[in-house]
């Protein structure tokens, strides 16, 4: 019974937050529809924090509320007063705008590809293959972790899924073989070193490739839309791919080598 009450409370909390914000007077200088839209946005965030239902469903409900209540949430009085303005059509266009973004579909396709890694076990086999041939020494085992992450990064736009879902399940079983256990003084024997290398490798691989992390692709689209120099930059970058990768790779190698050597010496 307590679980049912807890879920009901979590379901009602976003609605209460939205209702309270609707009743608060609109701040000076802010359009009414902007304040009402902000109320829906805050309610959505509260729902995602409490998560009474999946986050995807919460997002869909929030978009649906905005589309249905577009006269109060999306458009101002001048737009609604225009006889040529079709509020319903424009609201539907706004609600479906995200599905027309090539970036969204690129990320979606990459996640489907990443799911294939998990279902087929390809990522696990790649990790085990590298550990087999490079795991004879703790130093080269650190390199194996970095190489695994870099090989998977171009096709897995989620560092959490890549490192946490593919690399970590393989690596976490290695420290106990060397009598190194978490939450124990023996953790620094090799376990701390391997965990540290995973943190560094996922940070570098996420920044080396556009598809290394989902925010990279979304950030690139944002820059293309809002940066006045994006066209010149986009025209220049394809002319210098060799120089870019040369610079990025050299920087990554220096960081990996320095961090690995320091971490290895302290463990």
129 shares a domain with 257: yes
Share of the chain above pLDDT 90, in %: 12
When pLDDT is cut at 50, 70 and 90, the band that residue 116 belongs to is confident
Q: Are residue 91 and residue 142 in the same domain, yes or no?
A: no
Residue of higher predicted confidence among 92 and 261: 92
Taking the C-alpha atoms of residue 40 and residue 6, their distance in angstroms, rounded to an integer, is 22
* Each residue's pLDDT tens digit, 20-70: 999 999 888 888 889 999 999 999 999 999 888 888 889 889 999 998 988
User: Residues 150, 248: one domain?
Assistant: yes
10 with 50: CB under 8 angstroms? yes
Q: Give per-residue pLDDT as tens, 160-173.
A: 777 777 778 777 77
Q: 99, 120, 137 — which closes off a domain? A: 99
Q: How many domains is the chain built from?
A: 2
Same domain, 74 and 132: no
Q: Are 86 and 205 in a shared domain?
A: no
Three-class DSSP category at 107: helix
Q: Distances in Å between the alpha carbon of 124 and those of 15, 32, 93, 150, 180?
A: 43, 53, 42, 14, 22
Please list, in sequence order, all residues whose beta carbon lies within 8 angstroms of the beta carbon of residue 154, skipping any fewer than 6 positions away: 209, 211, 212
Count of residues for the chain?
267
* Token code pair at residue 138: 């703790």
Is the pLDDT at 259 greater than 60? The verdict is: no
257 and 125 in a common domain: yes
Q: Which residue, of 75, 99, 123, is where some domain finishes?
A: 99
Check whether residue 163 and residue 206 sit in a common domain: yes
Q: Are residues 75 and 191 in the same domain?
A: no
200 and 250 both lie in a single domain: yes
Range 195-221 average pLDDT = 79
Residues 141 and 248 in one domain: yes
The residue segments making up the domain with residue 152 are 103-266
| Co-location of 73 and 111 in the same domain | no
Residues 110 and 205 in one domain: yes
Which has the closest alpha carbon to 211: 171, 156, 256? 156
């Amino acid at each position: 019974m307590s679980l049912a009450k807890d879920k009901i409370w979590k379901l009602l909390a976003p609605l209460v937050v939205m209702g309270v914000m609707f009743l608060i007077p609109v701040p000076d200088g802010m359009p009414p529809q902007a304040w009402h839209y902000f109320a829906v946005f805050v309610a959505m965030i509260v729902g995602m924090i409490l998560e009474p239902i999946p986050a995807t469903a919460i997002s869909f409900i929030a978009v649906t509320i905005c589309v249905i209540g577009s006269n109060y949430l999306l458009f101002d009085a001048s737009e609604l007063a225009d006889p040529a303005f079709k509020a319903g059509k424009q609201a539907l266009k706004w609600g479906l705008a995200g599905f027309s973004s090539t970036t969204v579909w690129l990320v979606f396709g990459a996640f489907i590809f990443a799911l294939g890694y998990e279902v087929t076990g390809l990522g696990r086999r790649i990790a085990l293959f590298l550990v087999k041939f490079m795991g004879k020494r703790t130093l080269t085992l650190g390199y194996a972790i970095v190489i695994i992450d870099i090989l998977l990064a171009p096709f897995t736009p989620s560092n959490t899924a890549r490192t946490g879902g593919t690399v970590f399940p393989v690596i976490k079983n290695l420290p106990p073989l060397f009598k190194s256990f978490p939450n124990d003084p023996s953790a620094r024997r090799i376990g701390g070193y391997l965990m540290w290398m995973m943190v560094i490798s996922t940070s570098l691989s996420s920044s080396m490739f556009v598809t290394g992390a989902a925010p990279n692709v979304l950030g690139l689209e944002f820059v293309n839309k809002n940066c006045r120099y994006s066209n010149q930059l986009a025209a220049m970058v394809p002319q210098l791919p060799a120089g870019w990768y040369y610079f990025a790779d050299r920087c990554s190698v220096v960081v990996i080598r320095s961090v690995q050597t320091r971490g290895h010496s302290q463990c």
